[in-house]
A and B are shown apart, each in its own frame.
Chain A
Amino acid sequence: MKKQGIALWQKIFFLLLPLTVLAVFLATQAALRINFRETISGEIERSRWEHSFFCTGVQNKLSYEKSASGNPFLGKEGIGRALVQMTSEQTANSAQGLAVYQNKSCIAFSNTPFELRSGPLLEDLEKKPLDSQECRVVLRNEKNLYYTVSASLLPIENESYELFTVREITSVYQNQARAVRTVEVFLFFFTLIAALFFYFALQLLLSPLRHVNSGIQEIAGGNYSLRLSPKGSAEFRSLSRNINRMARSVEENIEQVQNLADSRKRFIDNLAHEMKTPLTSILGFADLLRVKRSVSEKQRREFAGAIVEEAKRLQSLSGKLMELIFAESAKPDCREIPLEELFREISLSVSPLLARRGVRLLVNCPGGSLWADRELLKSCLYNLIDNAAKASKEGEEIELSCSFLSDYVLFSVSDWGMGMDEKTVRRATEPFYMADKSRSRKNGGAGLGLSLCARIAELHGGSLRIKSKLHEGTTVFLSLPKDRPSREESESISSGRKEASNEEAS
C-alpha cells in the first residue's frame, strides 16, 4: 500500500479535512455577517429614534419659547436664534452632532465632525427629496470612523428647515473586526483539532484493513492454514470471512496436489525398487558368468536359474504394469455378458495355473447375465483366482461364486489357505504392497494384482472388499452394479475414476 503513492487514509483525510474546515468557515462567516447586519440595522433604528427625539425636542422648545415670549410668531430671526441656542443645549450632554439647514445653508450646528449636508446623504437627497414625515438614515465613513447620518424635514411657521443628526458607530465596526479575528483564531485551532481527530479516527477505522492485508501477505507467503479473525466493521468482517474461505480452498487444493504428488512419488519409488531388484540379480549373475574364469556346472545352473527367475519377475511386472496402465486409460466397453459363458472362459484360462499348483476350482454359477467390460472383468477374476491359488496348499479348493442382490451382482472368490492379518488386508490394494516379499517374488508376484482388481471394480462403479482371517482363508467380494449404466452415469463413472485415480495415484 505504501509503495502505491497516496494511501487510502491520506485520500480520505485530504478530502474530508478541507471540506469540514470550509463548511465551518462558511457557517461562521454567515453568522458573523447576519449578526453584523442586525447590529447595524439596530444602530440605524436607534439613530432614527434619537433623531425623532431631537425633532420633538426642537418642536417643544419652540412652543415653549413662543409661550414664554407671548408671541405666537417668532419670525425668521427669532427662530434662528432659538435653533442655535437649542442645538448647543441639546448636544451639550451627548455624543450626538446636530445641524439645522434652511435653503442649503447651515443655520445652526453643534458637535458635528464634518459637513453633514454632503457626501452620500446629499446625493441621496438630490435623487429623492425628503417628504414631510420621512426620516432618512445613511451610513458614512469618514477618516476610518463610522457614522450614521439622519435627516428629516422640520416645518416651523410655514418655513421648511432640514434637521440633521450624526452619531458615531465606529465601535460596532471595531467589534465586528474583533469578532472576525476571534473566528480566524478559532478556525485555526479547529483545523488542527479536526486534523488530529480525522487522523486517529481513520487509523482506527482502517486498522482492520492492515490486519487483513498482513494476513493475506502471510497466506500468499505459503502459510495456507492461517485464518483471519473477523475484526472491525461489517465490510471488513465479511472480507476476512471471504479471505478465510479462499485460503481454505487454496489449502485444500494444495493438500490434494501434495497428496497426489506424494503418492505418485511413492509409486515411482516402488516401481524403481521393483525393477531394480530383479535387474541387480540378473546383471550380477550374468556378469559373474562373464568374468569368472571357471564356472562349475552347479554354479552355472544356479546362476542361470536365478537369471531366468528374475527375468520372469520383470516380465510379470511389466505385464501387470501394462494392464494397470490400460485400466487407467481405457473406458470400460460395457456389454451384456452371460454369466455361464464368462465362468466357462475363466475356468478354461485358469486351468493350467490350477493344475500347476494342484488346486481345484469350484464354480457356483446362478445363470443370468450382467453388464460389464468383458476383458477387464475376466482379468480381475483371473487375478483373484490366481491370488487364491497362491495362498492355497496343494490339494485345497477355491470357490468362485456369484449371486444377484437387489442392485448389485456380487462375485466372491474364496480360499481356505493361509489368510492375512488385518494390517495386510488394509494395505492389500496398495500398489506394490506385498505381505511376504520373498514368497510373492518366488511366485512371480509384483504386488500389483489386487490394486489392478480394485481399479477395475472402480471403473465399473463397483467395489472390492476383502474378508480374511490368518490361517483360515480369504474371501474377496467384487460387487458390480446390476443395471446397465446409463450414458450420464457411465460418464460420471469415468470422471469419478479420474478423481479416484488422482486420490490414489496408482
Chain B
Amino acid sequence: MPSIFIVEDDENIAKMIEATLSMVGYDCEKCPDGKEAVQRILEGRFDLILLDVMLPGLDGFEILSKIKMKGVPVIFLTALQDVGDKVKGLRSGAEDYIVKPFETVELLARIEVVLRRTGKNRKKLSYLDIEIDLEKHLVTKGGHAVALTPKEFDVLVFFMQNLDIAVTRERLLAAVWGYEFEGESRTVDIHVQQVRRKLGLKGRLVTIPKLGYRLESL
C-alpha cells in the first residue's frame, strides 16, 4: 500500500486524517513541525505528502521548495480560500490542494487521483473473487471477464477503493461523472444496480438509507 506523510500541526486534524487514511489501508506517518518534516521527507520514502500551509517553524510553501528535488507528490491542506494561494500552491509544484474543512471521502478521492496520476497507486484491486486490472481496464469474476460500460467500471472501482466506507450519491456522482455533471442521483442508482446485478453483489453492495451505498467486506 502507498505510504502517506501527514504534515499538520493541529493534533486532532492529524489524528482524523490518519484514521481516515488507515481506514482504506494506507500507511501513515504524522509530523507536527515544519523543520522536522523536511528532515523526515528527505530521509524517508513516501508516495504522497499531505502538507498543511500554516505551520510553526516553516510554512507549507517553504517546505515544498525544500523537498522539490525529492519528487514526491504533495497535496496542500489549507484554511485559506484565496485563489491567489491556490495558484501559488500549484505553481510551486503541488499536485492539488484541499480546503479545510473537508469530507472524508473527498480527501480519499483527491489522494486516489493524485496517486493514479503519479502511478503510485494500486494497479490491481480485488474483492472476493472479483479482480480489477486498472491498467488493462479489465474486470474478471471467478476468472471470467465481465463486460461493463466505462461508467459502471468507474463505479465499481470507486466502491472497491472505498471498501467499507459509506459513499453518498453526490460523492459518487462527483468522483465518476465529475463535479460539473448536473445529472440526477437516479443515474447513480441505475449504475449501482447494474454493477450489483452484473457482478452478483447483492447483499454486499448495500444501500444505506438516507446516505448512499457501501461495499462491505466479509
Residues of chain A having any CB pair with chain B under 8 Å: 269, 272-273, 276-285, 287-288, 290-294, 299, 302-303, 306, 309-310, 437-438, 441
Contact = CB atoms under 8 A, between A and B. Distances in A.
Contact of A277 (B100, B105, B165): B100
Contact of B12 (A276, A299, A310): A310
B19 A299 contact: yes
Q: Which 10 A-B pairs have the closest CB atoms?
A: A284-B16, A281-B12, A276-B79, A291-B166, A280-B101, A280-B100, A293-B164, A283-B101, A287-B104, A279-B101
B189 interface: no
A299 B56 CA distance: 29
Contacts of B13: 277, 280-281, 284
Given A273-B79, A288-B104, A293-B216, A438 B11 contact: yes
Contacts of B211: 290-291
B59 interface: no
Interface string B55-81: 010000000000000000000000111
A438 B19 CA distance: 20
Given A276-B79, A291-B104, A291-B211, 15 more contacts: A272-B81, A273-B80, A276-B100, A277-B10, A280-B102, A283-B101, A283-B103, A284-B16, A287-B103, A290-B211, A292-B166, A294-B164, A306-B15, A437-B56, A441-B11
B57 to A, nearest CB: 12
Contact residues of A: prevailing secondary structure: helix
A291 B165 contact: yes
B54 interface: yes
B216 A280 contact: no
A130 B23 CA distance: 149
A282 B103 CA distance: 10
Interface string B101-114: 11111000000000
B159 to A, nearest CB: 12
Contacts of B19: 285, 288, 299, 303
B167 interface: yes
A281 B10 CA distance: 9
Interface string B10-47: 11110111011001000000001000000000000000
A303 B17 CA distance: 12
Contacts of A438: 9-11, 32
A276 B15 CA distance: 16
A243 to B, nearest CB: 36
Contacts of B79: 272-273, 276-277, 280
A273 B11 CA distance: 15
Interface string B162-186: 0011110000000000000000000
Nearest to A283: B101
Contact of A272 (B23, B80, B165): B80
A289 to B, nearest CB: 10
Nearest to A306: B12
B101 A284 contact: yes
B16 A281 contact: yes
Nearest to A303: B19
A441 B12 CA distance: 10
A269 B79 CA distance: 9
Contacts of A277: 10, 13, 79, 100
Contacts of A283: 101-103
Contacts of A303: 16, 19
Nearest to B23: A292
Given A273-B54, A277-B79, A277-B100, A288 B16 contact: yes
Contacts of B100: 276-277, 279-280
A291 B159 CA distance: 13
Contacts of B56: 437
Nearest to B166: A291
Given A310-B12, A438-B11, A292 B103 contact: no
Nearest to A438: B11
A437 B16 CA distance: 18
Contacts of A437: 9-10, 56
9 contacts: A272-B81, A281-B10, A281-B13, A281-B15, A282-B101, A284-B101, A293-B165, A303-B19, A437-B56
A273 B59 CA distance: 14
A156 B55 CA distance: 142
A290 B166 contact: yes
> Which of A278, A280, A310 has the most chain B CB atoms inside 10 A of its CB?
A280
A230 B167 CA distance: 75
Nearest to A278: B12
A292 B17 contact: no
Contacts of A309: 12
Nearest to B54: A273
Nearest to B168: A291
A276 B101 contact: yes
Contacts of B103: 283-284, 287
A92 to B, nearest CB: 118
A431 to B, nearest CB: 15
Interface in B122-164: 164
A269 B104 CA distance: 24
A306 B16 contact: yes
Highest count of chain A CB atoms <10 Å: which of B13, B23, B211: B13
In the complex, which of the residues A285, A293, A302 has the most CB atoms of chain B within 10 Å of its own CB atom? A293
Contacts of B81: 272
Nearest to A285: B16
A285 to B, nearest CB: 5
A288 B102 CA distance: 12
Interface centre among B12, B165, B166, B216 (most CB of A within 10 A): B12
A293 B32 CA distance: 29
A506 B54 CA distance: 21
Contacts of B164: 292-294
Contact of B166 (A276, A280, A281, A293): A293
Contacts of B54: 273
A299 B15 CA distance: 11
B105 A291 contact: yes
A496 B209 CA distance: 60
B83 to A, nearest CB: 14
A438 B15 CA distance: 13
Nearest to A436: B56
Contacts of B9: 437-438
Nearest to A272: B79
Contacts of A306: 12, 15-16
A443 B12 CA distance: 14
